[in-house]
Chain A
Amino acid sequence: MPRLVLIGAEQFPHLSDVLHHEARRADAPLTDISVEAWGTSATPWVEVKDGRLRAGLLGAAPSSGAGDDALGPEDVLWCLFEKPFPPTQSPYLDTEHEALRDGFHTCCPARSINRRGLLAPLWTMAVWRLLALRLPVRQEDSVLRAPHFHLGPCPEDGRRWKPWPREAEFSRAEVWWTVPAPGALHLAVVMGSRVTLWPLEAPDGGGVRPPPGLEADLLQLAAACGADVLEVLLVPSTDSGGDAGWTVLQLSALPEELETLLAREHPEARAQVEHFVRSLLQGQEVAR
């Protein structure tokens, strides 16, 4: 039976409840490491022996079941949220702790949902750059495209340019974006091989399966970003939606909107999470 290891799940209590419930249902040992414990009482290690990578966690005993602290390829790891490790008195040691954590995320043989680490563009590259580099995902067949981006002073060309959110906060880059005639704002939630589409301007509306072309693009986009769980904000080119053309406005590997949907008790959202976790624990869904 695979072991389910969660890090920082308390940041998403409704999602965490579903994950715990599914682990109990499957009789899978579950290890739950809080954000505070990660890097202090629960620390990572990485080993290479005869060309084989091993990795595990010290001080993270499973809440049910027993086993070695090494994580194997059958296990499932989901680091939902983490912060920089608590600072030591030495900048050198702080760097070493962060490097070890990145090494753990990269090398851990467990099936890692939204694998982090320095080789994961999802966690290392600004989202707008990721969109620019990954879209279109299916060349001329794609219905999904990125906005038009501009770096520098805001263009004065009569179009409606907006600053790219979060960018100014982190890098101070002056990134502007525009889209032609946007339709209603939607949220797409990709989990493994399933996608749901939610109209955000009708918050009580249910999630639906997207049109085939859009679904194929969203699955390809998630794969191209190295994501198993991905939230995508997008708008259709026209108010009618459909497969005519969509523009991605934001990506997130943090399940914040999914948490909101679960809090509102949308059955489609719960069913999507349950299907994803069951498939993982049954070994049918392959995380990265």
Chain B
Amino acid sequence: MILVMGPVDELVTAFFLAHLTATRREYVFVDERHLGTQVHLELDWRPGPPGAGKLTGAVRFPTWSVPLEQVSGIFSRLGTGGIEPPQTPGSLAQRAHAAALLDLFQGPVANRATAMLSNGSKPCQYAAILAAGLRVPDTLAGGAPWHWERFARGLEGDPVIKSVSDERSLVKQVSWEEARAAMRPGHPLPPHQFQQRIPGTNVRAHVVGAREVLACRAESLALDYRHPDMTGHTVRLRAMELPAPVADACRQLSRALGLELTGIDLIEPPGGSNSPADWVCLEVNTCPGFMWFEQHSGLPIARALADHLHPPLSSSC
């Protein structure tokens, strides 16, 4: 069975649970708010050669428990939804145990707590993106005004400015003159990220299990299609097939970051291309909100994820 952990009212958690229920999958759900009160995780790890049985334990509910041996895979949305879980020692301990379970569980986990960290700093992903054969836009993060000026003047057109971290920020296009006017003499420069604006079409590729690649084009005139309402533009998502070499690069990238579910933001060059070197990767979302993409493009992301976490009998024989 699949173990799902997250806040019950978080949209993606609720969407995936609804899919599991509708498709009659076997699952057990842990509401994050109940960790440490009604739900306890007990884990035992014995030294020895790697293999099944090394990690044992159970998810304990008040009147029943589920041995980890019965769990085939884990989907976690812990820490999402903006909830404020209890800060009692018991609750804090159980959330730490849940994070440990995500790292130590020997089956598929979407996603392991430590592997999700890379999205906390966009530059941390750039080396992996380049190694996978995809392009990264020319970028400058941090630096002095003379760095920024040299960088901005070396680009065709004005750069975009965006956050370095995974904090949500509206991507904006700014000229060097505007950036300079916003600087406050005597104050340290805020560490925003300047980036070359890339022409082309936004594409979101969801990679499941570093195997299945489900992609869609986001057709919009907005600079940041994730916030079309804030810019007065509309967005239309259409399912598409990535060229095989580009899909392979996405698989390689997910594997390199140790992730079983990724939302990779790409820009397809005008006119298209089969070469990954022509495709730009902006970032890899390590906790992707795939519901919106599935609902608007029809891509079967939840099904692919459920299949990965608990393979149907026909594919495991």
Contact = CB atoms under 8 A, between A and B. Distances in A.
Interface string B32-45: 00000000111111
Contacts of A1: none
B147 A107 contact: no
11 contacts: A48-B138, A50-B138, A96-B163, A118-B120, A119-B124, A126-B100, A140-B49, A145-B47, A151-B45, A152-B41, A172-B93
A226 to B, nearest CB: 12
Contacts of A58: 142-144
A150 B44 CA distance: 4
B114 A146 contact: no
A99 interface: yes
Interface in B241-291: 257
Interface in B174-206: 188, 190-192
Contacts, number: 172
Interface of B: 40-50, 57, 89, 92-93, 96-97, 99-100, 103-104, 114, 117-118, 120-124, 126-128, 130, 135-144, 147, 151, 163-167, 188, 190-192, 257
| Complex A-B, nearest 5 residue pairs according to Cβ-Cβ distance, in ascending order | A103-B123, A99-B165, A173-B96, A45-B142, A171-B96
Nearest to A98: B165
A125 B124 contact: no
Nearest to B168: A92
A48 B89 CA distance: 44
A117 B130 CA distance: 17
Given A53-B126, A106-B123, A121-B114, A95 B96 contact: no
Nearest to A48: B139
A118 B93 contact: no
- Name the interface size band of chain A: 35 or more
A148 interface: yes
B45 A132 contact: yes
Interface of A: 40, 43-51, 53, 58, 92-93, 95-100, 102-104, 106-107, 117-119, 121, 124-126, 129, 132-133, 135-136, 139-140, 145-153, 167, 171-175, 247
A103 B165 CA distance: 9
Nearest to B151: A47
Contacts of A44: 142
A151 B130 contact: no
Contact of B97 (A40, A147, A173): A173
Given A53-B127, A135-B47, A145-B47, A152 B42 contact: yes
B130 to A, nearest CB: 6
Contact of B121 (A47, A103, A125, A247): A103
B126 A107 contact: yes
Given A99-B121, A100-B142, A172 B96 contact: yes
Contacts of B257: 119
Nearest to A109: B127
Contact of A103 (B45, B136, B138, B164): B164
B140 A133 contact: no
B93 A174 contact: yes
